[in-house]
Structures are given as C-alpha cells and as structure tokens.
C-alpha cells in the first residue's frame, strides 16, 4: 500500500519545481509527476531502466520524452536540466552513484526534488487500520521508504536540503479500501482463512469509523525535499590542490 493516490497537491509540485523548468523524472514511479509537470508547462524527460516498461509509460505521459537508462549512468548530456524529480523511488537507487549523475546533468543552480506519499496515521482510525495490516505484514504503512532521504546527509553534491510536508485527503469506499489491501503482494498471497480474517478486520475498521452515506477520507502525508546542486566536487576532481595539473 505504497502507491501514491491521485490528487497530488498542486502546492507541493509548485514548491518542488519552478514553473516551465526542464525536468528529468527518474523511474516509472515518477510517471504521474512527469505528466503533471508537463501539463504545468515544464519540458519533461523520463528515464526508466526497464526497456519493457517504456511503451506503457509513454501511453501514460503524453508529451513527455521517455528514454531507456539507469539513474547511475544517465544517457544525457551534462547541464541539461533545471530539476531532477524522484517520486517514491530514492530507496530503489544506489545513491552514491545516482546523486553524482544527478549533479552532472543539472545546470548550475539546478535542484534535486524528492517526494514520498505515505498514509498519515495521526488520525485514530488510520492507526487502527495500520495495526491490523501490520499484524499480517509488519512492513506495511511504516513510511520506511521515505527514510532513504538520509542518503543526502553529508552529500557534497546536495549539501543544503529543505523539507516541507503537505496533506492530502482521498475519499475511499469500503470496497476501495479492501481493493487497496488486496493489491499488497504479501497480503494478496495469504491463504483463504487468513485472507477472510483480514478482510473482516478491515471491514470492521471501516464500518466503525465511516458515517454513511459519506465515505471515509483517507489522509496522506506528502513529504517533500528539495536541494540545490553544488558542483564544486567536479572541479576539485579535475584540478589538484596546486591548481597546475589537470586529470581526466
């Protein structure tokens, strides 16, 4: 249950990406962000490492240039983009390699923009739901993927990181909530008795919290980080301390 819902806050996009920027989106999880930013007037390129996924991505992101490539070896020229965007995906990368590549393809003064959307368990019924799901899969609704942003700690390429949180509310029916539960790979693999017990527990959470005919509003926390690139390390690698020898 980690896929971000529709209705991403426009204020979050605006905070992460200046209008009409040249944007590089990383990975299929960033396809929705790429489509939104393209509609907002940005020039967007999306890089995905799985060639087999490119065709389906292209149908979802009209007007976006889609390329096969890896974040740690981008098939792109230096200083080509104003912003690199990663949505729900930093934890999937090798940050030591990828962050250097992001710095290489950004223009001076460009920025890295990260977003993770997670369930907001500050609402009592959401905490109840989390306890139910974690009794079957302890990793669900933990927000641990977002902790991968600590890869920026001490990173010379992106030394000054800003953080801001946004909230999003998504109406959800009982059937939609059960469908979300079934989409989790581990929960979908449960045997029939356990699957029936899980559905009964989730249904009880929903029915005891909703006020018919209104659906429940599922809260999400949209955690965003942005950091301006520092390319001093590229210079220091080319020129030694006496400033006389250039190494390539």
User: Does residue 197 belong to any structural domain of this protein?
Assistant: no
User: Does residue 153 belong to any structural domain of this protein?
Assistant: yes
Domain total for the chain? Answer: 1
Quote the CA–CA distance of 223 and 146 in Å, as a whole number. Answer: 8
User: Does residue 230 belong to any structural domain of this protein?
Assistant: yes
Read off the pLDDT of residues 54-106 as tens digits, 9 standing for 90 and up: 999 999 899 999 999 999 999 999 999 999 999 999 999 999 999 999 999 99
User: Does residue 207 belong to any structural domain of this protein?
Assistant: no
User: Does residue 49 belong to any structural domain of this protein?
Assistant: yes
Identify the pLDDT of residue 235. 62
Identify the pLDDT of residue 247. 44
User: Does residue 111 belong to any structural domain of this protein?
Assistant: yes
CATH assignment at residue 151: 3.40.50.150
Identify the pLDDT of residue 121. 82
Alpha-helical (H) ranges within the chain are: 10-16, 31-39, 54-60, 95-105, 124-134, 174-183, 185-188, 192-209, 232-238
Identify the pLDDT of residue 73. 96
Identify the pLDDT of residue 245. 45
Identify the pLDDT of residue 1. 45
Q: Beta strands 216-228 and 161-172: pairing type? A: antiparallel
Strands lying side by side in the sheet with 81-87 = 65-68, 43-48, 22-26, 81-87, 106-119, 216-228, 161-172
Quote the CA–CA distance of 192 and 112 in Å, as a whole number. Answer: 45
User: Does residue 202 belong to any structural domain of this protein?
Assistant: no
Identify the pLDDT of residue 18. 94
Alpha-helical (H) ranges within 106-162 are: 124-134
How much is the pTM?
A: 0.82
The low-confidence residues of the chain, meaning pLDDT below 70, are 1-6, 235-248
End-to-end CA distance of the chain: 46
User: Does residue 38 belong to any structural domain of this protein?
Assistant: yes
20: three-class secondary structure by DSSP? coil
Identify the pLDDT of residue 120. 85
Q: Domain range for residue 23?
A: 10-120+142-168+218-238
φ, ψ of residue 120 to 5 degrees: the values are -100, 105
């Amino acid at each position: 249950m980690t896929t971000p819902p529709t209705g991403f806050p426009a204020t979050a996009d605006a905070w992460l990406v200046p209008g009409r920027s040249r944007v590089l989106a990383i990975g299929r999880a960033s396809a929705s962000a790429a489509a939104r930013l393209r509609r907002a007037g940005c020039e967007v390129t999306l890089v995905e490492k799985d060639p087999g996924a490119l065709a389906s991505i292209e149908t979802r992101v009209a007007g976006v240039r889609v390329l096969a490539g890896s974040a740690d070896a981008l098939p792109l020229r230096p200083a080509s983009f104003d912003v690199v965007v990663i949505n729900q995906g930093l934890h999937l990368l090798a940050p030591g390699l990828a962050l250097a590549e992001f710095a290489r393809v950004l223009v001076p003064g460009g920025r890295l923009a990260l977003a993770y959307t997670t369930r907001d368990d500050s609402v009592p019924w959401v905490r109840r739901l989390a306890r139910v799901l974690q009794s079957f899969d302890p990793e669900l609704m933990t927000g641990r993927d977002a902790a991968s942003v600590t890869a920026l700690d001490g990173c010379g390429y992106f030394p000054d990181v800003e953080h801001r949180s946004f909230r999003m509310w998504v109406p959800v029916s009982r059937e939609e909530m059960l469908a979300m539960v079934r989409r989790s790979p581990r929960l979908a693999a449960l045997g029939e008795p356990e699957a029936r017990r899980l559905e009964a527990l989730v249904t009880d959470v929903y029915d005891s919290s909703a006020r018919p005919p209104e659906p429940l509003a599922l809260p999400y926390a949209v955690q965003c980080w942005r950091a301006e690139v520092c390319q001093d390390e590229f210079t220091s690698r080319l020129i030694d301390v006496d400033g006389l020898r250039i190494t390539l």
